[in-house]
Amino acid sequence: MTKQQTGVSRRKFAGLAGLASAGAFGTALTPWAAREMDARASGLTSQSLSADEMDAFHEAGVSAFPAETRGKGNQPLEYEMDGDVKVFRLTCDIVPDWEFDVGKTVEAWTYNGTVPGPEIRVTEGDRVRVHVKNNLNESTAVHWHGLIVPNDQDGVPFLTQPPIKPGEEFTYEFTALEGNAGTHMYHSHNNSAKQVTMGLLGAFTILPKDPATRPSYDREFLIVLNDGPIGGYSINGKSFPATEPLVAKKGERILIRYYNEGLMIHPMHLHGMPQLVIAQDGWLLPQPYMCDTLNIAPGQRFEVLVDCTEVGLWAFHCHILSHAEGDHGMFGMVTVLIVEE
């Protein structure tokens, strides 16, 4: 199995999509972003746009995909060994200009400067220690969502621990229990409707000690959903066309790990090939099932396998359509599965 792929360039995507010559996009991005922002600022609606103007906005968005932006979440969090303990460090930091779409920035509350925060990845049986430093101007705490931990490590202020006040540090320590493998997450559990949606969230993966206990795959992708103040409807902290495509080769089996860190449900619809749902909230299903649209509620995680049998550019989006497309084209929870020959 391999870790998440590196991105496909905008130039390459334009070529695959049969859009105007790839070279034309070398300078298209900034004018597109400017035009898009002007249009929204001036309140243009479909009533005031001609069909050609609407088409131009839609084409421009796809042409800009995958648009490059500053900052990338889900990067593996490095650790140090202290004896047999894996020691991680998280710092809660405010980033004043998280770029969720081209030229569009917003204040984000982050772990280690990105949304989502870095991915913590351990193996069943690992002893884990996480130092959390709070550089926010309000208290926080970290909850290990989906992990079976001792009660005093569960991260709920006043219920299981004192809050981590501004400037303070708190250390969590627990064992990733055998049997608790799967797709989990970590996030703030203090003033959480604000702190989580502002960006204090991340993926926590527990790999099985024995790989044979879970289905195998060729590549994997993380899709962290959010619907708060960080750019609205987002995938991995970005809004289309700044989302990343999933890129696979024909014949490969990919694993998609979903996480809903938002406040709304998001039915994620993949064109072209079915999703085989194998796990919910980390737990392997006794009977995997096929679907093309998987509804994901806040707090839920799912693992699905997709057999990439069909070559092409397959739209992949939330099917609450107002989370994905408007008069000015696709935005928000939209990406593309690219299956290459």
What is the binding site for Cu ion (CB under 5 A)? 266, 318, 320, 323
For Cu ion, the closer CB: 306 or 318? 318
Report d(CA 92, CA 124) in Å as an integer: 26
Query: Nearer Cβ to Cu ion, position 112 or 239?
Result: 239
Closer CB to Cu ion, residue 130 or residue 235?
235
- In this structure, are residues 244 and 238 in contact, taking their beta carbons and an 8 Å threshold? yes
For the chain, what is the total number of helices (H) and then of strands (E)? 4, 22
Min separation Cβ 3 and Cu ion, Å: 26
Q: CB of residue 176 vs Cu ion: minimum separation in angstroms?
A: 31
- Least Å distance, CB 299 to Cu ion, is 15
In the complex with Cu ion, the residue whose CB is nearer, 161 or 236, is 236
Site of tokens 């708060």: 228
The upper half-sphere exposure of residue 224, i.e. CA atoms within 13 Å in the direction of its Cβ, equals 30
- In angstroms, give the least distance from the CB of 266 to Cu ion: 3
CB of 322 to Cu ion, least distance (A): 8
176 vs 324, beta carbon nearer Cu ion: 324
Tokens representing 225 are 């959903």
Burial 13-22 (b: 16+ CB within 10 A, else e): bbebbebeeb
Q: Please identify, using beta-carbon distances, which residue of 208 and 298 lies nearer to Cu ion.
A: 298
3-state secondary structure (DSSP) of residue 338: strand
DSSP state of 23: G
Kindly state the smallest distance separating residue 148's Cβ from Cu ion, in Å. Answer: 29
Minimum CB separation from Cu ion for residue 242, in Å?
17
Two tokens at 219?
């590549």
Q: Which is nearer to Cu ion, 121 or 271 (CB)?
A: 271
Q: What sign has the CA pseudo-torsion 40, 15, 338, 108?
A: negative
**Cβ-Cβ contacts under 8 Å for 281 (sequence gap 6 or more):** 146, 182, 183, 300, 301
The whole-angstrom distance between residue 41's C-alpha and the CA centroid of its chain comes to: 28
Partners of 151 in the β-ladder: none
**312 vs 148, 325, 340, CA distance in Å?**
41, 21, 7
Residue with smaller CB distance to Cu ion, 219 or 323: 323
Least distance in Å: CB of 264 to Cu ion?
6
